[in-house]
């Protein structure tokens, strides 16, 4: 049980699909015409990060039309207009309307729906990164769910931390605290013990592998990911959260109020909450640096480039599926990423 930690990624490597195997997949997610329209030829991971200005040369109508989906995400193509024909030159708005603008960045992304699965991935990522490195960007990278942005993670992280704080406060005094409604999602994944008592510090820096598997991204991301992996590797006490390769997910566009939602109950995948390590009533409060640590100075250690940057995502592959809904005024579009496999 302990050995697994030593070579958890050795097993990754073995089972990871070849890059060739995945690349076509990412591309196929985009309809050919769309790809053409957007000038996407190689899966050069536009990478999901929020902004990576792809300058294009076509304007768009100001409506909620998608432009420049990061490589492979959301094609809202919601209510706007027909399909992909704006490529050429659908009469964009004549300049009159919206001030000359790049609709590309002005588009709203659908709201992300944090399913229990997605949240678990988030928790696993945080667990593996270690408190120190568990910041939005690195978490996002480790999760490697395309379409997921740093702000998605940041927002979720913020709430998650509040949740953890409440969990600590609970037990001693009186009170109160947990409104089940709010915590349902968070309760769906067990909270690793270290989250509550970060008492452990990497007392001894072990060695770090000079090469790090993880890749799929580019430059910056590689570096950060490498640092993260290294940290995880040198971290003796991290939970054996298992990251799997080959996870497939689907994104779902729809309105929350939509009938066909994916509530926990309908998922059947719930349960097993409350079995965390912090159940102890006599529990005092810990001082999770990661909950309270307000200032997170950047202290990244540049790691040497790996010799063979041939790997892909450390974790899973998610696929998105789209569903447009609501032609209604109140309809919001939502992005739901969910794995098809995994616990």
**DSSP output for 39-90:** T--S-----SSS------S----SSS------SS------SSSSSS-HHHH-
Q: Which of 22, 84, 104, 112 binds DNA (CB under 7 A)?
A: 112
Phi/psi of residue 119, nearest 5 degrees? -65, -35
Question: Interface with DNA by CB under 7 A: which range of 26-34, 38-46, 91-99, 150-158?
Answer: 150-158
**Which residue, 58 or 293, has its beta carbon nearer to DNA?**
293
Q: Which of 61, 182, 234, 276 binds DNA (CB under 7 A)?
A: 182
Does the protein bind DNA through residue 22 (CB under 7 A)? no
Residue 39: which region, alpha, beta or left (left: phi > 0; alpha: psi -120 to 50)?
left
Q: Rounded distance, CA 331 to CA 80, Å? A: 13
Does the protein bind DNA through residue 161 (CB under 7 A)? yes
Does the protein bind DNA through residue 120 (CB under 7 A)? no
What is the maximal distance between C-alpha atoms in the chain? 67
CB 87 within 8 Å of CB 38: yes
Does the protein bind DNA through residue 52 (CB under 7 A)? no
Question: Interface with DNA by CB under 7 A: which range of 79-87, 178-186, 225-233, 240-248?
Answer: 178-186
Does the protein bind DNA through residue 307 (CB under 7 A)? no
| Residues near 266 by beta carbon (within 8 Å), at least 6 away in sequence | none
Does the protein bind DNA through residue 184 (CB under 7 A)? yes
Please state the closest distance from residue 136 (CB atom) to DNA, in A: 4
Site for DNA in 255-294 (CB under 7 A): 256, 290-294
Q: Which of 54, 56, 58, 159 binds DNA (CB under 7 A)?
A: 159
Does the protein bind DNA through residue 81 (CB under 7 A)? no
**Which residue, 35 or 255, has its beta carbon nearer to DNA?**
255
Strands 111-113 and 334-336: what pairing? parallel
Tokens of 1: 């049980």
Does the protein bind DNA through residue 341 (CB under 7 A)? no
Please state the closest distance from residue 72 (CB atom) to DNA, in A: 17
Q: Which of 103, 136, 192, 339 binds DNA (CB under 7 A)?
A: 136
**Alpha-carbon distances of 145 from 51, 72, 158, 161, 223, rounded to whole Å:** 16, 10, 19, 21, 18
Q: How many residues bind DNA (CB under 7 A)?
A: 37
Q: Rounded distance, CA 57 to CA 59, Å? A: 7
Q: Which of 137, 197, 244, 262 binds DNA (CB under 7 A)?
A: 137
Picking from 13, 3, 107, the residue whose alpha carbon sits closest to that of residue 64 is 107
Residues lying near DNA in the complex (CB under 7 A) are found at 108-109, 111-114, 134-138, 150-152, 154-159, 161-162, 179, 181-182, 184-185, 256, 290-296, 298, 335
């Amino acid at each position: 049980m302990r050995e697994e930690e030593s070579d958890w990624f050795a097993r990754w490597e073995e089972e990871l699909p070849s890059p060739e195997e995945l690349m076509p997949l990412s591309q196929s997610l985009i309809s050919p015409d769309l790809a053409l329209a957007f000038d996407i030829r190689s899966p050069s991971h536009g990478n999901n990060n929020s902004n990576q200005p792809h300058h294009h040369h076509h304007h768009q109508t100001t409506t909620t039309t998608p432009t420049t989906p990061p490589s492979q995400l959301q094609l809202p193509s919601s209510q706007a207009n027909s399909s992909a024909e704006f490529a050429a030159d659908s009469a964009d708005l004549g300049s009159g309307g919206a001030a000359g603008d790049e609709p590309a960045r002005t588009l709203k992304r659908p709201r992300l729906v944090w399913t229990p699965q997605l949240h678990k991935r988030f928790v696993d990522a945080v667990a593996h990164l270690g408190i120190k490195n568990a910041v939005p960007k690195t978490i996002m990278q480790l999760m490697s769910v395309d379409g997921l942005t740093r702000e998605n993670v940041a927002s979720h992280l913020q709430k998650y931390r509040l949740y953890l704080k409440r969990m600590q406060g609970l037990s001693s005094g009186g009170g109160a605290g947990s409104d089940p409604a709010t915590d349902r999602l968070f309760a769906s994944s067990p909270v690793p013990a270290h989250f509550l008592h970060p008492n452990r510090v990497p007392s001894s820096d072990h060695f770090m592998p000079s090469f790090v598997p993880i890749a799929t991204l580019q430059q910056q991301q590689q570096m950060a990911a490498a640092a993260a992996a290294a940290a995880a590797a040198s971290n003796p006490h991290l939970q054996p959260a298992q990251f799997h390769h080959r996870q497939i997910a689907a994104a779902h566009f729809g309105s929350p109020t939509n009938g066909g939602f994916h509530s926990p109950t309908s998922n059947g995948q719930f349960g097993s909450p409350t079995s965390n390590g912090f159940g102890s009533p006599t529990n005092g409060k810990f001082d999770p640096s990661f909950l309270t640590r307000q200032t997170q100075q950047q202290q990244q250690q540049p790691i040497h480039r790996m010799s063979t940057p041939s790997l892909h995502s450390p974790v899973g592959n998610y696929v998105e599926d789209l569903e447009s809904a609501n032609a209604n005024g109140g309809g919001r579009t939502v992005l739901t990423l969910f794995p098809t496999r995994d616990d």
